[in-house]
Amino acid sequence: MLKTMRKNVKSLKWVMWIVVATFIISIFVIWGGSGQLSKGLTSGALVQMSGSKVTVDMYTTSLRNRVESLRREMKEINRNLIEQLNLPQQVLEQLVEQQLIFGLAKDLGITASDAEVKDRVVNLPGLQREGQFVGYEEYRRVLGYNHISVSQFEEEMRQEIILTKTVQALTAGSVVTADEVWDTYRKTKDSAKIEYLALEKSKLTLDKEPDEAEIKAWFEGHKDGYKLPERREGFYAFLKNDDLKKEIELSEAEIGKYYTDNKAQFENPEKVKISRIFLPLSGKDKTKVTAEAQSALARARGGEDFAKLAKAVSKDDKAKDGGDWGLYDWKTLPQKEQDAIAKLDNGKLSDPVESDLGIAILKVTEKDPASVTPLDAAKPRIRTMLQDQKARALAQERVTKLAKEAQKAKSLEAAAKAANLKTESTGLLKEGQALGNIDPSGSIAAALFRLKDKEISAAVPTYGGYGLVEMRKTEAPRPASYEEVKAEVKNDVTEAKKKDLAMARIKEVRAKLTEKNWEDIAQKYKLEYKTVDDHKKEQYLGVIGESAEFDRLAFSLPLKQLSEPVDFTTGIALFRVLDRKEANRADFDKEKDTQTKTLLEQKRNQSLQAYLAKLRADKDVKVRYDLFQQATQDVLNKYDTNK
């Protein structure tokens, strides 16, 4: 599920997101937006480039609105998920791209007239009622209610038009051929029904660890693959948030005010847990499948255990788990099924629900109504959160002051000693390498690589506090010695041995496979056994992942012919193709125009991204990552459910 979400979020980087991003930021605030923005950061330059900049305020506003938009879709969201989806970096990159496009528009003389702005405003979907513009009085009233001036809003519209026109100018030369459209269409329509056996290397244990002679021999044979990148060493001082919490005093009034001002944080949305029995329609007689669904429903209503019934008759990936779709995964089901779920009470069963994919029977196994955590119950969480915020602010204040003193003294060690703080060596670090428990994210090492010799950084925010680092030593990239990479070499030898062991076992299995004993063999040899009804090219496939070789064979092997062992990233697999469907030219002709437009948009996006990469280098884009991390922390603290 997370992989799918991450792909969906990444898709926002396409051309149209860049085109309308500025408008989206404003419209979120206007039509039910994210509330009062934090004023804790300055509007200083987060990103500098020739002729333009991205301010901290621009970034925090954009990030808040992106997260709030995602929360409206998902209901529940936390800091960990936001970071896994890499939203902060994506928002920053999109803002940089916008500024690059605005700069180019200025160079090209691209503008938007008042008439174009007026036409854009009166045709906005959000300002329509029964197909007509709501009128200027209503338009002004809505803007005024949200403390947005007409001139401010229309300037946003002007910027959107300029973005659109500039992107169109940059991508006007993109074309697609008929053959390209057909090949792309085939990727979405050609499919193979397959079954496979997979053995992951991680499931294997060697009889004995590689000995010293084996490890050294491997190193000697693969020396060119072991190199040390540039490494740097510095002195650092660090102030932990936790060490300052004892200085923080909180009143009951402060806690109560936080609760009142942030009620949304303590709202608990409705929790619904779903189980499902699913019978696919693909390639089957609909009447027969409908009868099977009615039979399963009758058995469930007759008191038969739903989980056992799902294991016996359901045909989706959750069948082995008793049809359990949990609290969240069911939100990816077809809309018809979600609509049926919305009407069910706790413990109730739906009638059969038919979608394009098949027929489902749904059961609500848990349903807790929405609620609000009362103040007394929320106090420990609020206290922890406020202590952390205040301790972080205090750490930032003291380390920022230390940075100024260190700059004056031209010595971090001297300034730290005067402030009763100790300095320590970082040791040789790669760029972005973690610094023990002090900085597992590698922020200090990243800062070190932006410094000149004996230069002292600005305050560096990390999850645990704030630090300063002074650059002292650089070691150029070089071939690694055996001792320096011994642990890495040992791991490589171990992985190679496990791969050989996996290959030997898969070859043994291959010799024993028959038409009907795949599941028995999988159980005997502890292999992963899967069937996939509708595998398409470039599709993620269970433990195998994305494999070009697997795809090639899936669409070229004769039906039911057993493959040779296929090497994938984490193991070895065997498979066979049970059936194959191919794209139909007649169907393609019906969708050709839509497919052509989609592919052309993708090509335009690729062209735009290539141009922006060049423009980024030409404009000398520089990011203040210390400010970026600080601003990100400010926004994400609100979503930290561990506090």
pLDDT at 637 over 80: no
Q: Are strands 191-200 and 358-368 parallel, antiparallel or unpaired?
A: unpaired
517: left (phi over 0), alpha (psi -120 to 50) or beta: alpha
CA atoms within 13 A on the CB side of 601: 15
> What is the C-alpha R_g of the chain?
30
- Please report the DSSP string for 489-522 in residue order: HHHHHHHHHHHHHHHHHHHHHHHH--SS-HHHHH
Token pair, residue 423, equals 């300095």
The share of the chain scoring above pLDDT 70, in percent, equals 92
Q: Read off the pLDDT band of 440 (50, 70, 90).
A: confident
Token pair, residue 459, equals 């305050």
| Residue 256 near residue 375, CB atoms below 8 Å | yes
pLDDT per residue over 442-461, tens digit each? 989 999 999 999 999 998 88
Q: Read off the pLDDT band of 435 (50, 70, 90).
A: very high
pLDDT at 632 over 90: no
pLDDT per residue over 84-121, tens digit each? 788 898 999 999 999 999 999 998 899 999 999 999 88
Q: Read off the pLDDT band of 283 (50, 70, 90).
A: confident
Report the pLDDT value the prediction gives residue 35, as an integer from 0 to 100: 34
Report the pLDDT value the prediction gives residue 125, as an integer from 0 to 100: 81
Report the pLDDT value the prediction gives residue 16, as an integer from 0 to 100: 35
Q: Which of 217-231, 253-267, 592-606 is least confident?
A: 253-267
CATH superfamily of domain region 2-174+603-639: Porin chaperone SurA, peptide-binding domain (1.10.4030.10)
The share of the chain scoring above pLDDT 90, in percent, equals 55
| Residue 309 near residue 300, CB atoms below 8 Å | yes
Report the pLDDT value the prediction gives residue 1, as an integer from 0 to 100: 43
pLDDT at 64 over 70: yes
* Fold observed for domain 228-250+375-479: Chitinase A; domain 3 (3.10.50)
CB contact set of 472 (below 8 Å; sequence gap of 6+): 233, 234, 235, 425, 453, 454
Average pLDDT, the chain: 87
CB contact set of 581 (below 8 Å; sequence gap of 6+): 189, 190, 191, 192
pLDDT at 384 over 80: yes
Report the pLDDT value the prediction gives residue 640, as an integer from 0 to 100: 67
Token pair, residue 273, equals 């847990």
For 177, phi and psi rounded to 5 degrees? -95, 165
Q: Which residues pair with 127 in a beta bridge?
A: none
Report the pLDDT value the prediction gives residue 329, as an integer from 0 to 100: 81
pLDDT per residue over 285-300, tens digit each? 889 999 999 999 999 9
Domains 228-250+375-479 and 270-369 fall in the same CATH topology: yes
Domain boundaries, the chain: 2-174+603-639, 191-226+485-581, 228-250+375-479, 270-369
Q: Read off the pLDDT band of 82 (50, 70, 90).
A: confident
Question: Where is pLDDT greater, at 85 or 242?
Answer: 242
> Of 434, 433, 435, 475, which Cα lies nearest the Cα of 453?
475
Q: Which of 47-51, 343-347, 348-352 is least confident?
A: 47-51
Question: Where is pLDDT greater, at 561 or 461?
Answer: 561
pLDDT at 464 over 80: yes
Stated pTM of the model: 0.58
Report the pLDDT value the prediction gives residue 643, as an integer from 0 to 100: 52
pLDDT at 170 over 50: yes
- The mean pLDDT value for 242-269 works out to 88
pLDDT at 237 over 90: yes
Q: Is 283 exposed, middle or buried (0-12, 13-18, 19+ CB in 10 A)?
A: exposed
Report the pLDDT value the prediction gives residue 641, as an integer from 0 to 100: 58
Report the pLDDT value the prediction gives residue 370, as an integer from 0 to 100: 83
pLDDT per residue over 570-617, tens digit each? 999 999 999 999 999 999 999 999 999 999 998 988 888 888 888 888
| Residue 477 near residue 484, CB atoms below 8 Å | no
Q: Read off the pLDDT band of 181 (50, 70, 90).
A: very high
Of the options 3.90.380.10, 3.10.50.40, 3.30.300.30, 3.40.50.410, the CATH number for the domain spanning 270-369 = 3.10.50.40
Alpha-carbon distance of 197 to 506, in angstroms, equals 9
pLDDT at 20 over 50: no
Alpha-carbon distance of 18 to 601, in angstroms, equals 13
DSSP SS3 for 172:
coil
- The mean pLDDT value for 553-558 works out to 94
